[in-house]
Structures are given as structure tokens and as C-alpha cells.
């Protein structure tokens, strides 16, 4: 593939090394870098499938009444869009791809702690993905419960919920194994001198994420298993006819699914924290605050699940307390944002494509976070519950946050991963339609929701028509930009220029090794003597 | 906190990258196993949450339904599992002392005791199923909601625990073979130790199931 | 390989007698628990359940699972995991008990 | 390893068994497109016999409740009032609301009282005829709830029942279910529009709310049980925490001494 790299270094890159050739060399490899690329490829494909479904739903809303599909099709589409995007793209998103690739490199290790387990978790991921997709075409038709699989409807419906739930279970297992691997890796495989406080902040965020994956995912595992048991054996725990309480299902579901939001966003924050100092040429401001705030977000985030249930009949007292806790989570998030901004302040900012997307992340995440706090306030929550406001909010967090973080990380690390440089002008140009289209699309959704447009419905009333058309046009602009961005990467892979070892002037460990890295990552195990992001002569702490 | 001595670990990664087994990161493997056990604890934790919520809601029904379970079988099974845990622990001590034969005897005893547990469980379940007391069973559906839930949870939790016992027996049998072949020995017994950790956890879960179901009356 | 914890773990062998003692205690606790649950009224047996059962589990964790001989890291991890579960249960009851 | 075994087992189940169903279901079994038995005789607020055929001549929002309900019925109807206050439709002309009690012990007197109090809550001009509160004997109300797929169950003196709005077309066809106990005006407006056209539409947001009976004795028990469990776990956590701190510090010292 890259002969120049072979010539320049004694060892071949991980892309060329190994005895096996072709596909087998990938699907049997325990090299964390190859597994990362397996994940990346699979996830980008699922992402595009999810995008297609989103576009179809927007087309349906272009006119009033039935435009291109029936209401039942629309129901199935939004369920699938949610399941595919959340379970197959956003949750595994950054940890499985960039985490797998860069966590060992960032801490000076040659691989993760359990390489074979790592490969196994990819197979679980693919199995889960295949089952999820299979559930669409088999059994009683695609699941129509929404991605939350709320009981008791999910135990009654004749659609293929069992298989979809089982798929989610397998995907959870894959997520647990990844988290377990990362936590052990960070504990055991740090290079000499790589103390906790010299660890790059991306590794910190993966550490916090790993713990959430380990401690919260089993709860959803057992809950989903109970739904399956309920469907086949009728054990009754979520069935009101037998004394079961569906509200408990919601509790258990959100015990996992709210922390899952932090599984989604924390690694993206970590990646942003890597990108900002590199392009501001400045030490990150408040290293310890950012590191600990990751842990704080993970811990507090596990306690606020019930704010999803304000209208589900939980007690007033609990509503109040959960409401308060929700506000508390905003604090560590805000700490991060302030520290990023402080880092940018007086830095010499180099507006390369990764930085452009990273800055958009901060902006969009702030909107997402603020609209989230608005829902934390009880009175507002009831008003906007089940409207487009919710849809807009979580797209700001998940797409504007995790999605933009993902793009930024891809732009930042792509040259390192593949040894090829993409066309930076095109990447910058693609930013305009992506950013503008995004806001036209989702900000309109916020407005629609505020005016009372109910979510999940294939049709709308005349008073919402103009805004719906605007949102649909925004979706076209956005998707056009995304396609240009991704196409740019494919072109780079096929005939991009050889990327240098350190195209951005970064100083973390990954930039000290060749692009693409060799199988062993490091010729010699590095010894770390100073804190990360050590751009200034002034020693930070 | 200082960074762990990296030489050993990078050796490990190196060996793994080449698919060889040169050195085992003993502590790393153990951390990994414990993390896995945490996921198991929280998996059952979800069920314990449900149990306590429903018991709080239907205290009298749980009380009455629990009376129908034969607590003697429950206690006998507890003794069986505790003893199997003991022989598991002894097996590890034996291998540490270099006594592989004794270690194998203890390990085999553990597997056999696991089997005894399952046989007991089987008869216990069969009696209940015979009386129509199983989820969606004709007799159970006539009961009060709280009792339906009690038996639903009873079958779910003991069933899931039973699956864990079966899985544990399979793992321990494989370890027995490895032990016989000398792949586990005085200088490398981490697999046995991790298998033991899993078995003990299964035991701990049963320790909680006993009072929740058999002694709730 | 030269690391202390590794050497410690390799070196530490728990004597058979310790395990057997723990086992006897565990059996005795089981009997006490059963006796209390079957003889006395509800409140007392609930209390017995809430104290004896965690005690038994603790013994298994501490001795059979070698937690006594592990470093502070593993102990801290176990603590985090168990307290997470306790917090989940607590928060959920916080809702159900006010309903 | 264990996970794989479990996974295989789970995967095989669908092959062996169909979906288990409870004998008597509480919840909504959707009957979209079905026509309600219009000749049913119910009692109006004055105790006069009235048939649904006489009442339903426009899109109708049907709610099924019982008037002594201590659970979700009041919040449900209150939220319906909130929704009706803002919906951009003219009550009595574009649509009407009918609330039927499925408890045969509810009397027309009680119904009249309920009607008066809910009409008072409405902040917009609302013709009294646009919200009817009906009662009936057990056989007739059962027939109605069965026809719309509304499953409920008697529990001592109370009922376990779901909360939902059922939208009927002018000719008495079920066109839409709106689940839960809170509603959006825009949703209701669309549902009524579709009912006017007689088009049945599949439901969304199927998170059903259920009403449970309240058991004061059990409730007391909950709190004491919680207190006990809570204090024990806190105590254990504290002991364990102190223990870790103590042993952990000692270990730290030895480690430092060695390295």
C-alpha cells in the first residue's frame, strides 16, 4: 500500500505487515489498529444507512398528508433510524474506533490489555448489527416501539421486538467488553513515567466512559432480557395484568440509557480536548479540572435517569430531586467548555479543518446542553415533552456533539491512521454546508417543538408547514456537505498524498511515530518525563 | 500514584501482538476478571432491584408465596454450593503449593457439587411445574398479582443463576483438562484463579437468593 | 515482573485451615439465618437477613475470592461497583417510596 | 464464554415457543377501523337512556374512566382540559368529548357533578353538550370497552386500567389512540382532522400509563423497609470505605518503602 513508508522505516506499517493477506488479514487480526479500522468502516456504513432513513423521514414531512409513505412505514423508520444511529454509530462511535486505535498509542503501549477480547467484541458488534437489521425483514415486521422498547407495549406487540431486543443485548455485551478492555489497559499498560496526571485527556475520558460501560450496561442487559422472557414465558414483571409495574421498566431502562448519553459524549469531549491545544499551540488550561470533570460527569450522569420520566407518573418528590441533580451535571460539562475557551484565549489559533469542526462542536454542544437544562426545569419539560423540541435537543447533543466530535477526530487522526493526507481545502469547504445545514435543520426543529409540533408523527398541521419545508431543505444541505466530507476521505485513501508523521505539529505520543504506525507502535518503549500538551516552556503544574 | 513498571506490560503486548504467550500480565488478567464480575453483579443487581421494589409493594403476597417453597431444599443447596466454593478455594491453594493432583481432586469435587446443586434444583422446579406453578401456568394465573410476580421472579432469578452454574461447570471442566495437561501449574495458575473467582461469585449470588426466596416467609 | 504486587500475589498462599474455618463459619451463619427466619417474627428475620447475608457474601469475597490479599486498587474497584449498585437501588426506592 | 452460551440459548427460544399471552390483559388492544356498537344504551347525566348513535355525529374524543378513581383519571382529564383550552378547534362543532365510566356503581348524579366541575375548569367558551359524562350497567360498558380494545381489571374496590384517548370518526369508527395522560394540542388537532375524514391511523408513543390501586398498609411497610435497607447499606458502605482507607494507606507505605 504505502511503499514510501516501508522505505522510510525499517519496520513495515501495520497496514502492510502480517502473513495473511486480504480480508482475512483484517477479520482475524488482534492488532488494535486493524480492529479500530474494522469498527470505523462498519460504523460509517451504518451511519450512512441511518442518514438515508432520516432523509426519507424529512421527505415525508415536505408536504402535508401522505407524501411518500404510510404512517406505519414512518413508525418503523423512526424506530430504525434511532436504533441504528444510537446503537450502531453513536454509542460505539469514538471509543471503538479512535479509542481502539489511539488509546494504546497515547499511553505508550503496544496494544490493549486483551487483544483477542477486543476482536471478539467487534464480532459481537457485527452480530448485533446483523440481528438488528434482520429484525426488520423477519417475524411480524419491523419493531414499532421506538428505540426505548417501553413495556408493556413491547411485550405485547406482534412485531419483531424479540430479535431487535436481543440484538441490543449483544451490542451491549460488545460495549461492555470494550470498556473492560480500556479500563484494564489504562491501569496496566501505561509506559514508564506515564503517571495518571501525565495521561492525555482523551485517555481520561475513555477511562470514565469505560467505567460507565461496565457499571451501567449490565442493567440494560438484564432489562432487555426480561422483555424477551416476558414475551416468551410471561413472567409478569412488567405486565400490569399480573401486578407488574411498567414504570419500573422505564426506571431500569433509563438507569442505563441516561449514562449512555455520557458514553456517547465523553469520548467526543476527550477528542476535542486533544485537538484544541494542538491547533492553539498552547497547553490545555486546567488539565486536572478537565480530567476530573470527565469522572464527575460519569458519576453524576448515572444518577439523573429519572428526568426522562417526569410525565411517567413518578412521585413529585423524586421529580424535584432528579431535577436538581440534572442541573448539577451541567457543572462539570460547563467546566470543560470554560477550559477549552480559556485554552483558545491568547493561543495562536491555526484554523485547520479538525479545529474548525472542533470549534463547531463547542458551539453546537452548548446549544444542546442548554436546551437539555431547559428540560431539566420541570415546568418546561411538561410543555415540550414529546415534541420536536426533544428531537432537536438530542440531535444537537448527539449529532452536533458526538457527530461533530467524530468528524473532528477523523480529520485530526486520519493522516496518522492511513498515512494519507486528504484535501484540506475540500474539507474546509464541506464545513460550510454541514454547519449551516445542521443549524437550519435542527434549530428549526427546536422552534417547531416550542410551538407544539408533536414528534414521531408522519403528518403535520398547516401552521407548521413553512418550518417543516425549511427543515427539510436544511437536511439536504447538511447531507450534501457530509457526502462531500466523506468522499474526500475516500479520494484521499485512493490517491492522497503521503502524510508526514506529524502534519499538525502535535506533541502527544501518536505524533512521534510514523504514519501509519508500525504493528508494534513504538520501536522503543517511550519514557515520559513531562505533562502532556507541553507547548510552552513554562511547566504546567 | 505511580505508573506501573511498564517493562512487564510492554512485554505482554509484544507477545500478544505476535500471538505468543511469553509472559502473562497476572494483575491485568485479574483486574479484567473482576471488572467482568462487576458486570455480573450489576446484571443480577437489576433483578434484585425489581425484587425489592415488588416485595415492598406486595409484602403479604411474597410472604405467602415464599411459604410454598421448600426451604429445606434451599438450605441443602446452600450447603452444597458453599462446600463447592470451599473445594474451589482449596484447589487453588493446592496448585500454589505445587500439588497438582490434589488440586485436580478438589476441582473435580467442585464440578460434581455443582452438578448436585443442579439436580436438586431440577427436582425442585419440577414439583412446582407439576403443580402448574410456573410463569403463565394454569394454577399460577389464578393467584394474586403479588404471588404471580414472586414466582415469575423466582423462576427468572434461579433460572439465570442456574445458567451461571452450568457455565461455571463448563469453565471449570475445561480448567480441569488444562490442569491435567500441565498447562496450569504452580508457576501459571491465573486461569484457575479467575475461574475460581467466577465460581465464588455464583456462590455469592446464591447466598442472596436463599433468604430472598426461601426464607421470606 | 519485578513489581511488588506481582511477587506478592505469586507468593501468597492461603493455608487450607483458613478456608476450612471460613467454610464452617459460613455454614453456621446459614443455620442461624434459617433458624431465625423460621422461628421469629417478620421484623427480626428481615433484620437477620439484612445483616447475615451481606456478612456471608463479605466472607466469600474477602477470603475465598482473595480480596483480603489484593492491593488497594482492586479493593477500591469492588467498593465502587458495589456502591453503584447500592446507589441505584437507593435512588429507585427514593421514587417508589414517595409514590 | 458464559455469555456465548446464554446468547445461544436466547437465540433458540424463538424457534420453540410462540409469544406467551396473559389470559386477561390490562392495556389497549388496538381496534383501529372497528366501529363501536352504536346502539348501546347508556345513561346521560340526568339519568335518561341515550344511545351512542344519538350522540356521535362529529369527531369524538372518547375517554374511559371511573369517577371515584384515585389514580390517573384526574390527571388525565385535567391534562385533557389543558389541551382543550389551547386546541385550535371549535368544541361542539369540530369535535366533542365523551367520558364513559366503566364502573357500573357510578351514578348519573356523580357524572353530572364531574361534568360541572370539569366544565368549570375550561377557560374558553365550551358548550356543555360538547363534553358528556355517561354511565351504564356493567354489560353495556363492557361491550363498549371491549369494542375499542380497552382492557381493565377490578382490583378490590378499585381498577387497574390504562390511560388513553380514543378518537372516533363521525360514524363511530376508531381512528386513533393517543396514549398516556398528557397530550399535545397539535396531536389532538391532527387526530380530530383525520377522524373527520374517517381515516384510521396507527399510533405512536405507545408508552401506556396505568392506574394502580393505592394500598395504605403496604405503603407504610415500604417506607420502613426502605429505611432499614437504606441505613444498612449506608452503614456497610461507610464501614467498607473506612476499611479501604485504612488498609489502602498501609499498603501505600509499604509500596513506597520498597520502590
d(CA B152, CA A467): 50
* pLDDT-wise least confident of C89-93, D18-22, D141-145: D18-22
Specify the pLDDT at position A6. Answer: 43
- With bands split at pLDDT 50, 70 and 90, how would you rate the model's confidence at D101? very high
Specify the pLDDT at position D236. Answer: 55
Averaged over A87-106, what is the pLDDT? 94
Residue D4 has phi, psi (to 5 degrees) of: -65, -45
Q: To 5 degrees, how large is the angle CA A369–CA A375–CA A376? A: 85
Nearest chain C alpha carbon to B98:
C13
CB A271 within 8 A of CB A202: yes
- CA–chain centroid gap for B38, Å, is 13
Q: Render pLDDT for A402-449 as a digit per residue (tens, 0 to 9).
A: 999 999 999 999 999 999 999 999 999 999 999 999 999 999 999 999
Specify the pLDDT at position D204. Answer: 65
Provide, as residue numbers in chain A, all residues whose Cβ is less than 8 Å from the Cβ of B41. Answer: 218
Does the pLDDT of residue D217 top 50, yes or no?
Answer: no
Closest CA–CA distance from residue A246 to any residue of chain D (Å)? 8
Closest CA–CA distance from residue B38 to any residue of chain A (Å)? 7
- DSSP H or E stretch at residue C73: helix C72-96
Q: Render pLDDT for A219-231 as a digit per residue (tens, 0 to 9).
A: 999 999 999 998 8
Closest CA–CA distance from residue A266 to any residue of chain C (Å)? 19
Specify the pLDDT at position D257. Answer: 40
d(CA A22, CA D183): 56
- CA–chain centroid gap for B216, Å, is 22
Closest CA–CA distance from residue A63 to any residue of chain B (Å)? 45
CB contact under 8 A, C4 and D248: no
d(CA A242, CA D25): 9
Provide, as residue numbers in chain C, all residues whose Cβ is less than 8 Å from the Cβ of A321. Answer: 94
d(CA D161, CA D72): 9
Specify the pLDDT at position B106. Answer: 96
A140 versus D178: which is more confidently predicted? D178
C-alpha cell at C28: 453456621
CB D169 within 8 A of CB D195: yes
What is the number of structural domains in chain C?
1
Provide, as residue numbers in chain B, all residues whose Cβ is less than 8 Å from the Cβ of C27. Answer: 79, 82
d(CA A321, CA A188): 39
B23 versus D246: which is more confidently predicted? D246
C-alpha cell at B40: 455480573
- Which residues contact residue D216 at a Cβ distance below 8 angstroms, ignoring those fewer than 6 apart? none
Does the pLDDT of residue D212 top 60, yes or no?
Answer: no
Specify the pLDDT at position A196. Answer: 93
Specify the pLDDT at position B192. Answer: 94
Provide, as residue numbers in chain C, all residues whose Cβ is less than 8 Å from the Cβ of B49. Answer: 88-89, 92
CB contact under 8 A, C89 and D225: no
Q: Render pLDDT for A282-310 as a digit per residue (tens, 0 to 9).
A: 888 889 989 999 988 888 877 777 666 65
Provide, as residue numbers in chain B, all residues whose Cβ is less than 8 Å from the Cβ of A233. Answer: 135-136, 155
Specify the pLDDT at position A60. Answer: 92
CB contact under 8 A, C94 and A219: no
Averaged over A170-197, what is the pLDDT? 94
Specify the pLDDT at position B179. Answer: 94
CB contact under 8 A, D221 and B59: yes
A34 versus D203: which is more confidently predicted? A34
d(CA B47, CA A235): 13
Provide, as residue numbers in chain D, all residues whose Cβ is less than 8 Å from the Cβ of C82. Answer: 237, 240
Averaged over D180-201, what is the pLDDT? 86
d(CA A460, CA A375): 23
Specify the pLDDT at position D63. Answer: 94
Does the pLDDT of residue C5 top 50, yes or no?
Answer: no
Whether the CB of B168 is below 8 Å from some CB of chain D: the reply is yes
Nearest chain A alpha carbon to C6:
A188
Tallying the residues shown for chain B, one arrives at: 217
- Which residues contact residue B145 at a Cβ distance below 8 angstroms, ignoring those fewer than 6 apart? A236, A242, A243, A244, B58, B61, D155
Share of chain A above pLDDT 90, in %: 53
Residue that has been written with the C-alpha cell 399535545 in this structure: D184
d(CA A21, CA B161): 44
d(CA D227, CA D99): 42
CB D84 within 8 A of CB D91: yes
Does the pLDDT of residue A486 top 60, yes or no?
Answer: yes
Averaged over D138-144, what is the pLDDT? 91
Per DSSP, what are the bridge partners of residue D161?
D211
Nearest chain D alpha carbon to C49:
D229
Specify the pLDDT at position D5. Answer: 43
Q: Which chains reach chain B with 3 or more Cβ–Cβ distances below 8 angstroms?
A: A, C, D
* pLDDT-wise least confident of A183-197, A378-392, A415-429, B115-129: A378-392
Give the number of B-C residue pairs with CB atoms closer than 8 Å. 128
Does the pLDDT of residue A147 top 90, yes or no?
Answer: no
Query: If 0-12 CB within 10 Å is exposed, 13-18 middle and 19+ buried, where does residue D38 land?
Result: middle
CB contact under 8 A, B208 and C85: no
* pLDDT-wise least confident of A170-179, A266-275, A370-379, D225-234: D225-234
Q: Render pLDDT for D64-81 as a digit per residue (tens, 0 to 9).
A: 999 888 778 888 898 899
Across chain A, mean pLDDT equals 87
Residue of B42, B93, B197 lying closest to C65 (CB–CB): B197
Provide, as residue numbers in chain C, all residues whose Cβ is less than 8 Å from the Cβ of B105. Answer: none
Specify the pLDDT at position D15. Answer: 32
Specify the pLDDT at position D228. Answer: 46
ipTM (interface predicted TM): 0.81
Residue D99 neighbours by CB distance under 10 Å: 24
Specify the pLDDT at position A94. Answer: 94
- DSSP H or E stretch at residue A72: helix A71-83
Mutate to test the interface with D, among A76, A224, A454 (most CBs of D within 10 A): A454
Provide, as residue numbers in chain A, all residues whose Cβ is less than 8 Å from the Cβ of D29. Answer: 156
CB contact under 8 A, A189 and B135: no
Question: What is the architecture of the domain spanning B40-214?
Answer: Up-down Bundle (1.20)
Whether the CB of C59 is below 8 Å from some CB of chain B: the reply is no
Specify the pLDDT at position B60. Answer: 87
- Which residues contact residue D120 at a Cβ distance below 8 angstroms, ignoring those fewer than 6 apart? none
- CA–chain centroid gap for A492, Å, is 24
Does the pLDDT of residue A142 top 80, yes or no?
Answer: no
Q: Which chains reach chain D with 3 or more Cβ–Cβ distances below 8 angstroms?
A: A, B, C
A189 versus A257: which is more confidently predicted? A189
d(CA A102, CA A416): 10
Residue of A313, A316, A318 lying closest to C94 (CB–CB): A318
Provide, as residue numbers in chain D, all residues whose Cβ is less than 8 Å from the Cβ of A156. Answer: 25, 27, 29
Does the pLDDT of residue D249 top 70, yes or no?
Answer: no
Residue A402 has phi, psi (to 5 degrees) of: -60, -45
Q: Render pLDDT for C22-64 as a digit per residue (tens, 0 to 9).
A: 999 999 999 999 998 888 777 777 788 888 999 999 999 999 9
- With bands split at pLDDT 50, 70 and 90, how would you rate the model's confidence at C97? low
What pTM does this model have? 0.85
Nearest chain C alpha carbon to B208:
C53
Nearest chain D alpha carbon to B145:
D155
Residue of B59, B141, B168 lying closest to D23 (CB–CB): B141
- Which residues contact residue D243 at a Cβ distance below 8 angstroms, ignoring those fewer than 6 apart? none
Any domain includes C76: no
CB D200 within 8 A of CB D173: yes
Does the pLDDT of residue C4 top 70, yes or no?
Answer: no
Does the pLDDT of residue B21 top 90, yes or no?
Answer: no
Specify the pLDDT at position A470. Answer: 96
Specify the pLDDT at position D229. Answer: 45
d(CA A366, CA A350): 22
Whether the CB of B135 is below 8 Å from some CB of chain D: the reply is yes
What b/e sequence results for B89-116 when a residue is b if at least 16 CB atoms lie within 10 Å of its CB, and e otherwise? bbbbbbbbeeebebbbebbbbbbebbee
C-alpha cell at B2: 505511580
C-alpha cell at C96: 417508589
**Which structural domains are found in chain A, ordered by start?**
19-512 (1.20.210.10)
Whether the CB of D248 is below 8 Å from some CB of chain C: the reply is yes
Whether the CB of C81 is below 8 Å from some CB of chain A: the reply is yes
Does the pLDDT of residue B64 top 70, yes or no?
Answer: yes
Whether the CB of B155 is below 8 Å from some CB of chain A: the reply is yes
Provide, as residue numbers in chain C, all residues whose Cβ is less than 8 Å from the Cβ of A248. Answer: 92
- Which residues contact residue A333 at a Cβ distance below 8 angstroms, ignoring those fewer than 6 apart? A293, A297, A369
Averaged over A310-324, what is the pLDDT? 62
Across chain B, mean pLDDT equals 87
How do the domains of chain B map onto residue ranges? 40-214
Residue A286 has phi, psi (to 5 degrees) of: 65, 55
**DSSP states of chain B:** --PPPHHHHHHHHHHHHTT--S---HHHHHHHHHHHHHHHHHHHHHHHHHHHHHHHH-HHHHHHHHHTS-HHHHHHHHHHHHHHHHHHHHHHHHHHTT-HHHHHHHHHHHHHHHHHHHHHHHHHHHHHHHTT-STT-TTGGGS-HHHHHHHHHHHHHHHHHHHHHHHHHHHHHHHHHHHHHTSSBTTB-HHHHHHHHHHHHHHHHHHHHIIIIIS--
Nearest chain A alpha carbon to B51:
A237
Q: Which chains reach chain A with 3 or more Cβ–Cβ distances below 8 angstroms?
A: B, C, D
Query: If 0-12 CB within 10 Å is exposed, 13-18 middle and 19+ buried, where does residue A387 land?
Result: buried
Name the B residues in 42-71 with CB < 8 Å from any D CB: 52, 55-60
CB A37 within 8 A of CB A417: yes
Residue A130 neighbours by CB distance under 10 Å: 12
Specify the pLDDT at position B14. Answer: 43
Specify the pLDDT at position A345. Answer: 83
Domain region containing C43: 4-70
Mutate to test the interface with C, among A207, A308, A315 (most CBs of C within 10 A): A315
Q: Render pLDDT for B9-20 as a digit per residue (tens, 0 to 9).
A: 444 444 444 443
Amino acid at each position: 500500500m504505502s511503499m514510501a513508508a516501508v522505505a522510510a522505516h525499517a519496520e513495515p506499517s501495520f497496514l502492510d505487515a502480517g502473513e495473511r493477506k486480504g480480508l482475512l488479514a483484517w477479520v482475524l487480526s488482534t492488532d488494535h489498529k486493524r480492529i479500530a479500522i474494522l469498527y470505523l468502516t462498519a460504523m460509517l456504513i451504518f451511519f450512512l444507512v441511518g442518514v438515508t432513513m432520516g432523509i426519507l423521514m424529512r421527505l415525508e414531512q415536505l408536504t402535508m398528508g401522505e407524501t411518500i409513505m404510510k404512517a406505519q412505514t414512518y413508525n418503523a423508520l423512526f424506530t430504525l433510524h434511532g436504533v441504528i444511529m444510537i446503537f450502531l454509530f453513536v454509542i460505539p462511535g469514538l471509543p471503538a474506533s479512535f479509542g481502539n486505535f489511539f488509546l494504546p498509542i497515547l499511553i505508550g503501549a503496544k496494544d490493549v490489555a486483551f487483544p483477542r477480547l477486543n476482536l471478539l467484541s467487534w464480532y459481537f458488534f457485527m452480530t448485533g448489527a446483523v440481528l438488528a437489521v434482520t429484525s426488520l425483514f423477519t417475524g411480524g415486521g419491523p419493531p414499532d416501539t421506538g428505540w426505548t422498547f417501553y413495556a408493556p407495549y413491547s411485550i405485547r406487540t406482534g412485531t419483531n421486538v424479540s430479535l431487535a431486543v436481543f440484538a441490543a443485548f449483544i451490542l451491549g455485551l460488545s460495549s461492555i467488553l470494550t470498556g473492560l478492555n480500556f479500563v484494564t489497559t489504562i491501569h496496566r499498560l501505561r509506559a514508564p513515567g506515564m503517571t495518571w496526571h501525565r495521561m492525555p485527556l482523551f485517555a481520561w475520558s475513555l477511562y470514565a466512559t469505560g467505567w460507565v460501560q461496565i457499571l451501567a450496561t449490565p442493567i440494560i442487559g438484564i432489562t432487555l432480557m426480561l422483555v424477551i422472557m416476558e414475551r416468551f414465558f410471561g413472567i409478569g414483571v412488567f405486565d400490569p395484568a399480573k401486578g407488574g409495574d411498567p414504570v419500573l421498566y422505564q426506571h431500569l431502562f433509563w438507569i442505563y440509557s441516561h449514562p449512555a448519553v455520557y458514553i456517547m459524549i465523553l469520548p467526543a469531549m476527550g477528542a476535542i480536548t486533544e485537538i484544541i491545544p494542538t491547533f492553539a499551540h498552547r497547553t490545555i488550561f486546567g488539565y486536572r479540572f478537565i480530567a476530573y470533570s470527565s469522572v464527575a460527569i460519569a458519576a453524576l450522569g448515572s444518577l439523573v435517569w429519572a428526568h426522562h420520566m417526569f410525565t411517567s407518573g413518578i412521585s413529585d418528590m423524586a421529580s424535584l430531586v432528579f431535577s436538581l441533580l440534572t442541573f448539577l451535571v451541567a457543572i462539570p460539562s460547563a467546566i470543560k467548555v470554560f477550559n477549552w475557551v480559556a485554552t483558545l484565549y491568547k493561543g495562536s489559533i491555526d484554523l485547520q479543518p479538525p479545529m474548525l469542526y472542533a470549534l463547531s462542536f463547542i458551539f453546537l454542544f452548548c446549544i444542546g446542553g442548554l436546551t437539555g437544562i431547559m428540560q431539566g426545569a420541570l415546568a418546561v419539560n411538561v410543555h415540550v415533552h414529546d415534541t420536536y423540541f426533544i428531537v432537536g435537543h438530542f440531535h444537537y447533543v448527539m449529532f452536533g456533539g458526538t457527530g461533530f466530535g467524530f468528524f473532528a477526530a477523523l480529520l485530526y487522526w486520519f493522516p496518522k491512521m492511513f498515512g494519507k493526507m486528504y484535501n484540506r481545502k475540500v474539507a474546509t469547504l464541506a464545513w460550510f454546508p454541514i454547519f449551516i445545514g445542521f443549524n437550519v435543520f435542527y434549530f428549526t426543529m427546536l422552534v417547531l417543538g416550542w410551538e407544539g409540533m408533536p414528534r414521531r408523527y408522519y403528518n403535520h398541521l398547516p401552521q407548521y408547514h413553512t418550518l417543516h419545508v425549511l427543515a427539510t431543505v436544511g437536511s439536504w444541505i447538511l447531507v450534501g456537505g457530509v457526502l462531500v466530507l466523506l468522499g474526500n476521505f475516500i479520494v484521499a485513501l485512493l490517491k492522497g498524498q503521503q502524510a508526514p508523521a506529524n502534519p499538525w505539529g502535535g506533541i502527544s505520543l501518536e505524533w512521534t511515530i510514523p504514519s501509519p504506525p508500525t504493528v508494534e507502535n513504538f520501536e522503543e518503549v517511550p519514557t515520559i518525563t513531562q505533562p502532556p500538551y507541553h507547548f510552552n516552556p513554562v511547566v504546567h503544574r | 500514584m505511580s505508573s506501573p513498571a511498564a517493562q512487564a506490560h510492554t512485554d505482554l503486548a509484544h507477545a500478544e501482538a505476535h500471538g505468543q504467550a511469553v509472559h502473562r500480565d497476572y494483575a491485568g488478567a485479574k483486574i479484567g476478571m473482576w471488572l467482568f464480575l462487576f458486570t455480573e453483579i450489576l446484571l443480577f443487581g437489576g433483578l434484585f432491584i425489581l425484587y425489592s421494589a415488588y416485595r415492598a409493594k406486595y409484602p403479604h403476597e411474597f410472604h405467602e408465596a415464599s411459604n410454598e417453597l421448600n426451604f429445606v431444599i434451599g438450605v441443602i443447596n446452600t450447603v452444597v454450593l458453599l462446600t463447592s466454593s470451599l473445594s474451589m478455594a482449596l484447589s487453588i491453594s493446592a496448585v500454589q503449593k505445587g500439588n497438582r493432583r490434589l488440586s485436580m481432586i478438589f476441582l473435580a469435587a467442585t464440578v460434581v457439587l455443582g452438578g448436585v446443586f443442579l439436580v436438586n434444583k431440577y427436582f425442585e422446579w419440577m414439583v412446582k411445574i407439576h403443580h402448574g406453578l410456573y410463569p403463565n401456568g394454569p394454577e399460577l394465573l389464578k393467584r394474586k398479582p403479588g404471588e404471580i410476580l414472586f414466582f415469575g421472579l423466582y423462576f427468572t432469578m434461579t433460572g439465570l443463576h442456574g445458567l451461571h452454574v452450568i457455565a461455571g461447570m463448563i469453565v471449570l471442566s475445561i480448567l480441569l483438562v488444562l490442569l491435567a495437561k500441565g498447562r496450569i501449574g504452580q508457576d501459571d495458575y491465573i486461569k484457575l484463579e479467575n475461574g475460581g473467582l467466577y465460581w465464588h461469585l455464583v456462590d455469592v449470588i446464591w447466598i442472596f437468593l436463599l433468604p430472598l426466596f426461601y426464607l421470606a416467609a | 515482573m519485578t513489581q511488588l504486587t506481582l511477587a506478592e500475589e505469586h507468593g501468597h498462599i492461603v493455608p487450607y485451615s483458613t478456608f476450612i474455618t471460613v467454610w464452617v463459619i459460613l455454614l453456621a451463619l446459614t443455620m442461624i439465618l434459617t433458624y431465625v427466619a423460621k422461628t421469629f417474627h417478620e421484623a427480626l428475620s428481615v433484620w437477620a437477613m439484612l445483616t447475615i447475608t451481606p456478612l456471608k457474601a463479605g466472607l466469600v469475597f474477602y477470603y475465598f475470592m482473595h480480596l483480603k490479599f489484593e492491593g488497594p486498587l482492586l479493593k477500591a474497584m469492588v467498593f465502587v461497583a458495589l456502591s453503584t449498585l447500592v446507589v441505584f437501588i437507593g435512588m429507585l426506592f427514593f421514587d417508589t417510596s414517595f409514590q | 464464554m458464559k455469555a456465548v452460551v446464554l446468547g445461544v440459548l436466547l437465540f433458540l427460544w424463538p424457534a420453540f415457543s410462540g409469544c406467551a399471552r396473559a389470559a386477561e390483559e390490562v392495556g389497549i388492544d388496538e381496534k383501529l377501523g372497528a366501529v363501536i356498537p352504536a346502539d348501546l344504551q347508556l345513561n346521560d347525566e340526568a339519568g335518561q337512556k341515550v344511545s351512542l348513535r344519538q350522540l356521535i355525529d362529529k369527531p369524538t374524543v372518547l375517554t374511559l374512566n371511573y369517577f371515584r378513581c384515585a389514580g390517573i383519571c384526574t390527571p388525565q382529564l385535567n391534562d385533557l382540559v389543558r389541551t382543550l383550552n389551547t386546541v385550535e378547534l371549535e368544541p361542539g362543532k369540530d369535535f366533542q368529548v365523551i367520558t364513559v365510566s366503566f364502573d357500573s356503581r357510578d351514578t348519573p348524579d356523580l357524572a353530572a357533578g364531574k361534568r360541572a366541575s370539569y366544565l368549570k375548569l375550561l377557560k374558553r367558551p365550551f358548550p356543555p353538550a360538547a363534553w358528556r359524562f355517561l354511565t351504564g350497567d356493567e354489560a353495556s360498558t363492557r361491550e363498549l370497552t371491549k369494542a375499542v380494545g380497552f382492557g381493565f381489571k377490578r382490583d378490590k374496590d378499585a381498577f387497574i386500567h390504562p390511560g388513553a384517548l380514543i378518537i372516533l370518526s363521525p360514524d363511530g369508527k376508531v381512528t386513533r389512540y393517543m396514549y398516556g395522560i398528557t397530550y399535545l394540542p397539535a396531536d389532538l388537532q391532527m387526530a380530530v382532522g383525520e377522524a373527520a375524514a374517517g381515516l384510521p391511523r396507527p399510533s405512536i408513543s405507545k408508552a401506556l400509563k396505568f392506574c394502580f390501586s393505592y394500598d395504605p398498609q403496604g405503603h407504610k411497610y415500604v417506607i420502613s423497609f426502605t429505611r432499614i435497607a437504606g441505613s444498612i447499606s449506608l452503614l456497610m458502605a461507610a464501614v467498607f470505605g473506612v476499611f479501604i482507607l485504612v488498609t489502602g494507606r498501609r499498603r501505600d507505605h509499604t509500596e513506597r518503602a520498597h520502590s
